[in-house]
Structure formats: C-alpha cells, structure tokens
Amino acid sequence: MDKPKTIKRNFPVLEMSCAACAARVDKTLNRQPGVQTASVNYASAMATVEYDPEICSPESLRTAVQTAGYDLVITADKEESKQEAEDAHELKYHALKHRTIWAVLLSLPIAIIGLFFMDMPHAKYIMWLLSTPVVFWLGRGFYINAWKQLKHGSANMDTLVANSTGIAYIFSLFNLFFPQFWLSRGIQPHVYFEASSMIIAFILLGRLLEERAKGNTSTAIRKLMGLQPKTVTLLTPQGELRETAIETVKIGDTLVVKPGEKIAVDGTVTEGSSYVDESMLSGEPVPVEKSVSAKVFAGTINQKGSFRFKAEKVGSETMLSQIIRMVQDAQGSKAPVQKLVDRIAAVFVPAIMGIALLAFALWLIFDPVNGFTRGLLAAVTVLIIACPCALGLATPTAIMVGIGKGAETGILIKDAESLETAKGIDTIVLDKTGTVTEGKPVVTDFIWTAETPLLKNIFYSLEVSSEHPLAEAVANHLKGEALPINNFESLTGAGISGIVNGKRYYAGNLRLMKQQHIRISESLAATAKQLTEEMKTVIWFADEQEALALAAITDRIKETSKEAVEKLRRMGIDIYMLTGDNEATAASVAKEAGIPHYRAEVLPAQKAGFIKELQQQGKRVAMVGDGINDSAALAQADLSIAMGKGSDIAIDVAKMTIISSDLRKIADAVRLSTLTVRTIRENLFWAFIYNLIGVPIAAGALYPICGFVLSPIIAGAAMAMSSVSVVTNSLRLKTKR
C-alpha cells in the first residue's frame, strides 16, 4: 500500500500573546483529521504543518484555529503570506507601542499619588479616573482574549492578567464607594488602582520589549533576503541591454553583472572575468576568481570586473533561496527539550489559578481579621507573577539565534533537534573523496623526455577527446590547442589512442605501454615508481616506439583538513575515515590528515552498516559526506553533515550543510550547539526558578516568617522582566565565540 503523499507548509499564526496560546494552537492543529504533525513556535509565530491534502486543506486548518480564538495566514503565494504576516506583526507592534506609552504616562501619576500623596483631597477619585482608561481601554485586549479563551473552555496568560487586574480594580472600586463595609469591621479600606494600572503598564512594556527582541532573533533571515537584488540587467537576443525585474528572469537568460553589483540568480559565466565576494556562502573573506565556465550564485557580490552569465537556477531554486528556506524551517522547528516546556505551558495557567484560590482560602482561614483583604491581594499577586512566557521563550529564542548565527557563518542547520544533537557527538565519520580531499583529480607532476608545442597539443587533443575524469585533469593542466584526431580509439581499462599527422599516439596506464611494447627510459621509469609510491596515479603519453611524457594525478587533501581533524580531536571527538578507494591510498590520506582510524574499499551500504556498528557500541555518531554514495550513511547517523559543494541528494538527506565544504566548520557547529544548549538550560533554569521562588512569595509564604507581603506592582514588574531577561540571554549567543 502506497504511503499517502503529505505536504509540509509553514503558516504564520496571528493573535498569539503567550506560550500557552502557542500550546493551544499546536493542540488544535494536531487534532485535525489528515494532519500528520504540527508544531507551533511562539517565538517565530509560525506553525509548521505536515498534512494529507486529500483529507484536509489550509482552509479547514484556518477554520479550526479561528474557532480556537486565533488566526492562520494561508495565502498560497509564499511572498504574499510572508508580507501579510509581516504587515500584521508591524501593525501589532505599533499598536502595542501606542498602548504602552499611554499606559505608562497614565500609570505614573497614579503610582506617585499612591506612594506619596494619598492624604491629598480626592486622591482616590483621581486615581480611579486615571486608572479606568488604562484598565478598560489600553488593557482591553487582555479581557477580550480572556473571554475568547473562556468560551473555548481554556485559559492563557491573558486570563491571569484579566483576573488579577479586574479583581484589583473592582475591589478598589468597592472600597472607594462603600468604605463603611470595612470601617464597620475595624478594617481600613485601601484602593489598588495603582496596582491594576501599573500591572497592565508593566505587562504591555514587557510584551513590547519581547516583540522587539523576537524581531531581533530573525536578523539572519532578513540579512539573507536583503542579499538578492530587485532588478537585473538582461542581454536580449537582439544584443540589447535591458533592466528588468528579477521575477521575470528565466532559465537560459543571459545576464550582465557590472562592478559592485549583487548577482541575482545562480548560473555559469559565459563571457568575461572578475572576482566575486562569496562570504555569504562560505564565510571566507577572500574573493573568488570567476572566469568562463565558473559557477556564480545569487546573493554574492561582484568586485571590480564585469561578466556575463547564463541563468541556470531562478526563483526558489537558487542556493540563496534554499538557504533562506532551510533557515526558516529550522527556526520554526522545536528542540526535544521544547516538548517538555509545551506540556508544562498547557497546564500552567489552570495550576496557577488553583494556587491563587488556595492562597486566598488559606489567608481567610489563618487571618480572620485581615484575611479577606490580604488573601485577595495574594491571589492577585500570584496571578500576576506567574507568567509562562519566560518558560515559553526559553528554548525557541535560543534556537532561533543559534541557527541564525550558524547561517551567517556558513553552517546551515535544518532543524532544532540537530542543533541540540551536535553537542552530544563523540564520534565523527568522514568520507574521503570530496570531504577530506578536494574531490577533484589534479595534476601534481608533469615530466617530458623532450617537450615540444606539437607533442603538447597532441597529448591535449587525445585527453580532451576522452570522457575519463583523469583525462579531464590532464587536459585542464595542459590547456593546449585541439588538433584533428583520426581513428580515435578507447581501450577499455588501459587508455586511448589516435592518429595525428599519420602517426599513432597513446595515452594511458602502464598496462597500455606494455601491451603496445613501448620503450620507457630508465629515468622516466624510476620517476614513475616514486610517484606511484606517493599514492599518485601515473598517466603515460607515447608514440609507437617510446614513452614521451608522464603526468602524475592525485586527489589532494584540502588545506584545512589536517587542522580540522586536530581541532576535533582536541575536543575529545574520535575520527574515522571511510572510502571506497584502495588500502594504500586510504592509509596515505589518513596519515597526512592525522586521522587515527580508517576503512578502505568500503561499499555505500557498508558505510551505513559501519555507522550502525558504532552506534551499537553506545557512540553518538556524526557522518560527514558529499556524494550520493554517502546518503545511506548520512541517514543512519545520529547527526548528518553534508559538504555544500557535494551532491543535491546528500544535502537533502543531511541535517546540517557546510556551505564552504571546510571541515573546520564542523568544530564550529559543535561549539555552536554547546553554546545554544547551554543558553537553553540557563533560560529554563531562570524561568523555573523565577516561578518556583516567585509564586510562594506572592502567595504570602514569607509573611509568617518576617511579615513580608509582595506588592502586586512589584510582581508585575518582575513578571515583565523575566521574559525580557530570557530573550536578552538568548541574544547574547550572537556575541559568544
């Protein structure tokens, strides 16, 4: 039976005000028929949903979310969807800013009167008049959202705020107009208008700072998006240059890039040369030389030269778009630790309301005289101080900053789980070709018995006619002039031959020389033996009588591989190398790179089996590869890392991609993971400790010991700052090394 095809989409979520809101939307989406998985990230206000389009649709998902009291942006066009969400966020931010400013301006005089001028005439009435617009106009959003939640039989942070401020306001209003009720019982009635208004002001200020901080965590995305130009210079078939919008560019179009311009799409240079700043891809500051046949990528910046290139990948297919998409998907994903936080957030609000009622009841029991007043204040303070937002922001903000920082340094992380996993890696398995080595055969030595321009061109002409990858390496080295070849013949397992100017020439291995009884001089034979011992492949060039030249070819180790291995070993990570190459070559490469363990002549399926063996030994294994043959091993590993210059399949399978293919970045990725996880733990610690200490104090736990009762105003300030402190701690990741 065929597995149903599912679609995975990101939907911006509107109207969420706290972590409990995100938990409710998450629960609502996961309950819908046809939804395989759904994950809601409060920090990014994004829902990632994988669903069966035959069973449900974006419209039905939106209806379900709207029923729960929120909204989902489902516009088919991604750009429109993104713009709609951004517009909504911008509108929300400005409205929040306006409400916060007015709330602070009105609440300050109330607080001043409450602290210093309660004896002045009509003080309580002035406080009432000033607090009323704060509570019912500027703070109306809390009451509206709380009512929505109540209708659906749920509660969130807004429920806590609405209950606490509403109770404080109504209690104060009762004391203002009916003071005799308390005076007759020997109790001096107090008003708490300053508490209700200052609480709303503090919470609004906290949310404003929170929104601003959450915006700062996505700077990497905005930076990446800003790398793409809006217009391009198109060369028409008539030879005219025309400026056009980037959206109109099609595959096969020829584009002109002037000095200092950003490259708009991916393609291949057809004319001209220059140096291009590819630091956004590789993290390396040195510009890369580009000439005919070189690949260029969207978002990179041309330096002084000018060139033309043919568009090969446009729109969402460019590397820049893929990077943006990967970063967005990753920032919207959840780390395993976040699942625990979500479960806590879902029961947090009901639990806090229960504690508030319990505190009120205990005060009534143990303090018959002032129990009602103090109990009411304790209940209000508990409702205020216990904010789940800090808890909800602890993980996603750190993840967003960590993944954004990775993207800026050329490390693409597909999901939060991978970022968390990297910290626990103790074993790394490296593919040889293209990972430890350059992955491209190059000529290292070239020896002639008697070099002439004609012989050089003949050798070049033979090799350029061959499809063998080693022949390409020789041709690239010679860069000669192609001559007409007659009777060209490919000799399987041996080499090639052809006739030039009536004379037959050969290019191939030693077996071909022996087959054709070609004479090799002693000095040339000795040189060939030495090169072979150095694990280099020798290609011979000869006429019908004697060997004329030899070329030594090898796949060179990347300049950075040895340094990268040393760095990883210093971090306590064990290194293995797997290759399908022969034992001698594998041993030579491993020795040169400083890799302690290796296996040679390994088939693709055996690579995955070897990783499984290591995992059965209790090791946490990361696989690093670049080819299609590595895809099974990448899928098997606890953490899969692809080299950015490798195959698309390897990159698709892998959870991390090193864009520059520089192995040193792996150590950076492990370090980033360690810092991110540490930041998450710090955030969670402070969020838990805050509630663990704050709630009992708010309930009045210290009163029997030292007579201390926490003010609702201080509770509101502490609650607001808890969320801000968590986000600020996450943002510190940007500066950590």
Between CA 664 and CA 541 the distance in angstroms is 39
Is 721 buried (19+), middle (13-18) or exposed (0-12) by CB count in 10 A?
middle
SS3 per residue for 324-372: HHHHHHHHCCCCHHHHHHHHHHHHHHHHHHHHHHHHHHHHHHHCCCCHH
Q: How far is CA 657 from CA 10, 124, 323, 410, 576, in A?
A: 21, 64, 10, 8, 19
Q: In sequence order, what are the beta bridge partners of 398?
A: none
Query: What is the spatial distance between Cα 265 and Cα 108, in angstroms, rounded to a whole number?
Result: 55
List residues bridging with 265 in a β-sheet.
none
Token output for 59: 């419209």
CA-based radius of gyration for the chain? 34
C-alpha distances out from residue 55 to 6, 59, 73, Å = 10, 12, 20
Spell out the long-range contacts of 343-346 with Cβ–Cβ below 8 A and sequence spacing 24 or more.
344/388, 344/391, 345/19, 345/20, 345/22, 345/23, 345/388, 345/391, 345/392, 346/20, 346/23, 346/24, 346/27
Query: How far, in Å, CA of 376 to CA of 446, rounded?
Result: 91
3-state class of 589 per DSSP?
Answer: helix
Tokens of 585: 């070559």
Q: What are φ and ψ of residue 271, in 5° steps? A: -160, 140
Amino acid at 49: V
From residue 218, give the alpha-carbon distance in Å to each of 214, 414, 498, 673. Answer: 7, 15, 61, 18
List the beta strands (DSSP E) in 213-345: 231-235, 241-245, 254-257, 266-277, 288-290, 295-296, 301-302, 306-313
CA geometry: angle at 554 spanning 586 and 582, to 5°? Answer: 30
Catalytic residues: 431
Q: CA-to-CA distance for 414 and 428, rounded, in angstroms?
A: 19
Q: Which letter, b or e, does each residue of 8-46 get, where b requires 16 or more Cβ atoms within 10 Å of its Cβ?
A: ebbbbbbbbbbbbbbbbbbebbeebebbeebbbbbbbbb
